C-alpha cells in the first residue's frame, strides 16, 4: 500500500496562486509592517514584497523567522509567507542546517505504519500523532470515535514551510489527499491545527483540489459542547491561550477559542500577546535561530501570562505544549490542552492537566 500510495503524484506540478497586482496597489503593506521580527514601514514593506515577487534579493529572505503571521496579516487574500518560502527555496536560502532539514523530512516519510480505526463517513484525523488517541476520549467524541486515522500517510507536511521546502509539500500533499480520499470519508475533523490549515489554506493556494469536507476541531468541540450544554458546569478559572503558528494559516477558526471559553465558564485573560499579536512557543526558533531568540520570546510570553493572572495556559498544539509546559509550570501556571479543559467542564477527568 505504501508504494501504491506514492505512485501517481510524483511529478505533479503545482504553482502558488499569488496576485502581484494586489501588492502593487496595497494600501497597507500589512504583511511586513505588522511583522514582529522585521522592522519596516509601509513603503519599504511594499518594495520588499515587490522584490520578492520579481525573484530579487530581499532582507525578508534573510531575516524572516517563519512565524507564519504575515499569512494572517495580509487581508487581501495573497500568500506572502508561502511566496517567501518558495523564493527561499528557489535561491537555496536555508533556514536550518541541511542535516536538520533532512532529519525532519525523514520523520514525515510514509512507512506503511499508519493506523485506522473503524472508518465511517465522518472521521477524526490525528496527523501522524498517536498521542491524540489518549486525548480524544469521553462524551465529546463518542459520536465519531472510533472512526479515526493517523500515520505519515495522512500527515499534512505543512511543517516544511519552516524549512523553506515547498517541493516536499508539493510531492507529498497530493498523495496525502489521495490517501484520505481512498478511506471513503466525506468529512474529516482535524485534531491537528496545522493539518486543517493544510487542506483549507496550503492546498488551495497551490491549486490542489481537496475532495472532502475539512472541519477544524475547535468548531467540532464548540458544536458538541452546545449539544451537551445541560451538563456543563462552569470551570471558573482564568486562562491564557497559547496560539500556535499554524493558526495564522486558518485565522477564521480563532474566534472559537473565545466562544468555547465563554461556553464552559472560563475567563480568557485579555493579555498583550494574544490574537494577531500572539508570540510563537519558541520551539522552532530554538532549533533554527538560536536560544537567544527562543528565550526572549518565551520570557515575554510567560511574563505576560503571569502579569495577567492566568492560572492555566490552554494549548491547541502539542508542539507548543511540549515547548512551554515546564517553563510555565515553574511560574505557577498549569498547562492544559483545550480538549481536556472542555472535558473538565462536563465533569470528566482530563488526561494532561498539569503535565
Tell me how far, at minimum, the Cβ of 301 lies from ligand SF4, in Å. 15
Q: In the chain, which residue ranges form alpha helices assigned H by DSSP? A: 2-6, 20-24, 30-33, 42-54, 59-63, 69-73, 80-91, 98-107, 132-135, 166-182, 193-197, 203-205, 217-227, 255-263, 283-289, 291-307, 318-330, 338-345
CB atoms within 10 A of CB 309: 12
Please state the closest distance from residue 297 (CB atom) to ligand SF4, in A.
11
Taking the least distance from each CB to ligand SF4, the nearer of 46 and 192 is 46
Smallest gap from Cβ 113 to ligand SF4, in A, equals: 32
Which residues would be at the binding site for ligand SF4 (CB under 6 A)? 22-23, 26, 28-31, 35, 37-38, 46, 49, 60, 64-70, 74, 76, 78, 80-81, 84
Query: At 7, which helix (H) or strand (E)?
Result: none
State which residue, 43 or 121, has the beta carbon closest to ligand SF4: 43
Min CB(69)–ligand SF4 separation in Å: 4
Nearer to ligand SF4, 32 or 175 (CB): 32
What are the beta bridge partners of residue 313? 240, 335
Q: Residue 46 or residue 216: which is nearer to ligand SF4 going by CB?
A: 46
Residue with Cβ nearer ligand SF4 (60 or 305): 60
Beta pairing partners, 213: 187
What share of residues in the chain are helix, strand, coil (percent, to 5)? 50, 10, 40
Output the smallest distance, CB 30 to ligand SF4, in A. 4
Of 324, 243, 242, give the one whose Cα is nearest residue 283.
324
Q: What is the DSSP letter of 348?
A: P
Q: Report cis status (omega within 30 of 0) of the bond before 146.
A: yes
Q: Is the CB of 62 or the CB of 143 nearer to ligand SF4? A: 62
Q: What angle is formed at CA 327 by the lines to CA 324 and CA 329, rounded to 5 degrees?
A: 100
The angle formed by the CA atoms of residues 161, 162 and 167, to the nearest 5 degrees, is 35
Question: CA–CA distance from 318 to each of 100, 247, 276, 314 (Å)?
Answer: 20, 13, 20, 11
Cβ at position 70, least distance to ligand SF4 in Å: 3
CB of 46 to ligand SF4, least distance (A): 5
Cell 521580527: give the residue.
37
Q: What is the closest distance, in whole angstroms, from the C-beta atom of residue 177 to ligand SF4 in the complex?
A: 25
Calculate the alpha carbon distances from 125 to 106, 195, 250, 301, 315 in Å: 21, 8, 17, 30, 18
Amino acid at each position: 500500500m505504501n508504494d501504491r500510495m506514492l505512485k501517481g503524484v510524483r511529478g505533479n506540478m503545482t504553482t502558488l496562486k499569488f496576485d502581484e497586482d494586489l501588492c502593487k496597489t496595497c494600501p497597507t503593506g500589512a504583511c511586513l509592517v505588522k511583522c514582529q521580527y522585521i522592522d519596516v514601514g509601509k513603503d519599504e514593506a511594499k518594495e520588499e514584497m515587490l522584490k520578492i515577487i520579481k525573484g530579487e534579493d530581499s532582507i525578508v529572505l534573510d531575516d524572516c523567522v517563519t512565524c507564519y503571521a504575515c499569512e494572517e496579516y495580509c487581508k487581501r487574500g495573497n500568500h506572502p509567507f508561502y511566496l517567501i518560502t518558495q523564493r527561499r527555496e528557489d535561491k537555496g536560502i536555508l533556514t536550518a542546517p541541511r542535516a536538520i532539514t533532512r532529519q525532519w523530512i525523514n520523520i514525515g516519510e510514509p512507512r506503511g505504519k499508519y493506523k485506522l480505526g473503524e472508518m465511517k463517513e465522518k472521521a477524526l484525523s490525528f496527523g501522524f500523532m498517536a498521542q491524540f488517541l489518549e486525548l480524544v476520549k469521553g462524551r465529546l467524541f463518542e459520536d465519531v470515535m472510533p472512526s479515526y486515522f493517523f500515520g505519515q500517510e495522512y500527515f499534512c507536511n505543512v511543517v516544511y514551510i519552516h524549512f523553506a521546502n515547498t517541493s516536499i509539500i508539493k510531492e507529498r500533499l497530493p498523495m496525502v489527499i489521495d490517501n484520505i480520499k481512498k478511506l471513503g470519508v466525506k468529512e474529516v475533523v482535524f485534531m491537528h491545527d496545522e493539518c486543517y490549515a493544510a487542506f483549507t489554506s496550503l492546498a488551495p493556494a497551490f491549486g490542489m483540489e481537496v475532495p472532502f469536507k475539512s472541519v477544524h476541531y475547535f468548531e467540532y468541540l464548540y458544536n458538541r459542547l452546545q449539544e451537551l450544554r445541560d451538563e456543563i458546569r462552569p470551570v471558573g478559572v482564568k486562562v491564557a491561550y497559547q496560539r500556535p503558528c499554524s493558526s495564522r494559516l486558518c485565522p477564521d477558526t480563532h474566534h472559537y477559542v473565545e466562544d468555547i471559553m465563554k461556553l464552559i465558564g472560563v475567563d480568557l485573560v485579555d493579555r498583550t500577546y494574544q490574537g494577531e499579536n500572539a508570540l510563537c512557543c519558541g520551539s522552532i526558533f530554538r532549533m533554527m535561530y538560536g536560544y537567544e531568540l527562543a528565550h526572549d520570546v518565551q520570557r515575554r510570553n510567560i511574563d505576560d501570562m503571569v502579569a495577567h493572572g492566568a492560572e492555566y495556559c490552554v494549548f491547541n498544539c502539542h508542539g507548543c505544549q511540549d515547548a512551554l509546559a515546564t517553563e510555565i509550570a515553574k511560574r505557577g501556571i498549569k498547562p492544559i490542552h483545550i480538549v481536556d479543559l472542555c472535558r473538565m467542564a462536563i465533569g470528566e477527568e482530563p488526561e494532561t492537566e498539569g503535565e
